[in-house]
């Protein structure tokens, strides 16, 4: 059998195949309490054929919110709502991880009760966010005080504890796409002069503390992370020494013995390009399972896993319109086309109404 469709063990996670559902923001949480809904239960349970589902980014605190109608994992109502999701996925034999998210400066005051977003440094992103009515320029952030950072690390710990109570098999720390952890890592967005800025060793400190906090609750074998070293998503910029910086970041992950590294290869949602040998250097440095992501086709995924370039491949957009993507890929069946509407916000249309393959005649 093609290796992509065979079982795998990543840390303490035993997966039925190596097709991963990547996190996809769909903006369908309840606006009143930022909890997922019964539609979310249906959406994820439809996709339980993947080896591992990674949920949409879920903010670890109200301060971590960056877009309208995104879910949280910091309140009892949110924990209970997510528990219905994990129960439904498990009932269909699936495994599911929640992506823990703090957007940092990629937010707007209207989403934060009038407060400024927080960031390593008071540098405004040339980016936009959705406030519930329109796409608006992100607000000017304020730089976090050194004494505040422990509070945010604690928010990550609490979110991981909540994820465990909600029945998740794992958590994925969102360290990619220009959000808070990524902002701390790069010299383009981190101009701090305290213990969290300046040298690469200092700039990976926040990552180290967050990973340690999450592992303390979920265990290393059930913790992974997403990184995007070669992406300028959300105007984060490209670090002056990408390979050196992310080598140190991966050393942090190895010290904590994380189960998997989910890597966005190249520009997020864009070109798959990077300096010759750079991605391979980082991939080979990581001790755990490497999950490749960004524009993979079936043929590319099969080759990556067969060759040992990746232990698994994550698919994003294809999972929107193909709830049974893993099953379709296994038999090389045609795929439903990606829609142009219904991606963000709304109800069942464009969310849970895509057809699955007809069962084969017995």
In sequence order, what are the residues at sequence separation of 6 or more whose Cβ sits closer than 8 angstroms to the Cβ of residue 121?
143, 189, 190, 191, 192, 197
Q: Are 166 and 100 a contacting pair, CB within 8 Å? A: no
Q: Are 318 and 20 a contacting pair, CB within 8 Å? A: no
Q: Are 292 and 312 a contacting pair, CB within 8 Å? A: yes
Nearest CA among 300, 279, 299, 298 for reference residue 290 = 279
Active site residues: 179
> Within a 10 A sphere around the Cβ of 102, how many other Cβ atoms?
26
Q: Look at the block and give the residue holding tokens 């709502």.
A: 81
B/e letters for 326-343, b = 16+ CB within 10 Å, e = fewer, are: bbbbbeeeeebeeeeebb
| Helices 242-256 and 205-218, packing angle to 10 deg | 30
* Cα–Cα distance measured from residue 207 to residue 229, given in angstroms and rounded to the nearest whole number: 14
Q: What is the DSSP string of 55-114?
A: EEEEESSGGG--STT--BSSSHHHHHHHHHHHHHHHHTT--EEEEEE--TTS--GGGTTT
């Amino acid at each position: 059998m093609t290796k992509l469709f065979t079982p795998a063990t990543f840390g303490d996670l035993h997966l039925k195949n190596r097709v991963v559902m990547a996190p996809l923001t769909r903006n369908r949480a309840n606006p009143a309490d930022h909890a997922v809904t019964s539609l979310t239960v249906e959406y994820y349970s439809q996709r339980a054929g993947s080896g591992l589902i990674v949920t949409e980014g879920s903010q670890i605190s109200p301060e971590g919110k960056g877009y309208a109608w995104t879910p949280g994992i910091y309140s009892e109502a949110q924990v209970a709502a997510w528990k219905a999701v994990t129960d439904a996925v498990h009932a269909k034999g699936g495994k599911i991880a929640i992506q823990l998210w703090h957007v940092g400066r990629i937010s707007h005051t209207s989403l934060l009760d009038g407060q400024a977003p927080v960031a390593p440094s008071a540098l405004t992103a040339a980016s936009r966010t959705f406030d519930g009515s329109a796409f608006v320029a992100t607000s000017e952030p304020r730089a976090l005080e050194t004494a505040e950072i422990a509070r945010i690390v604690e928010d990550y710990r609490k979110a991981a504890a909540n994820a465990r109570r909600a029945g998740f098999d794992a958590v994925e720390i969102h360290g990619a796409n220009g959000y808070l952890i990524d902002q701390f890592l790069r010299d383009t967005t981190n101009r701090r002069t305290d213990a969290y800025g300046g040298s690469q060793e200092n700039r990976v400190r926040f990552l180290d503390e967050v990973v340690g906090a999450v592992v303390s609750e979920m265990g290393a074998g059930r913790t992974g992370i997403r990184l995007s070293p070669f992406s300028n998503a959300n105007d984060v910029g490209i670090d002056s020494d990408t390979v050196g910086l992310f080598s140190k970041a991966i050393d942090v992950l190895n010290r904590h013995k994380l189960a998997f590294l989910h890597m966005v290869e190249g520009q997020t949602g864009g070109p798959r390009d990077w300096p010759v040998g750079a991605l391979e250097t980082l991939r080979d440095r990581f001790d755990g399972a490497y999950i490749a992501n960004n524009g993979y086709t079936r043929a590319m995924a099969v080759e990556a896993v067969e060759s040992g370039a990746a232990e698994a491949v994550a698919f994003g957009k294809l999972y929107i319109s193909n709830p049974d993507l893993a099953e379709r890929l296994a038999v090389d069946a045609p795929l439903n086309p990606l829609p142009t509407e219904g991606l963000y916000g709304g109800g069942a249309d464009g969310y849970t109404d895509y057809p699955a393959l007809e069962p084969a005649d017995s």
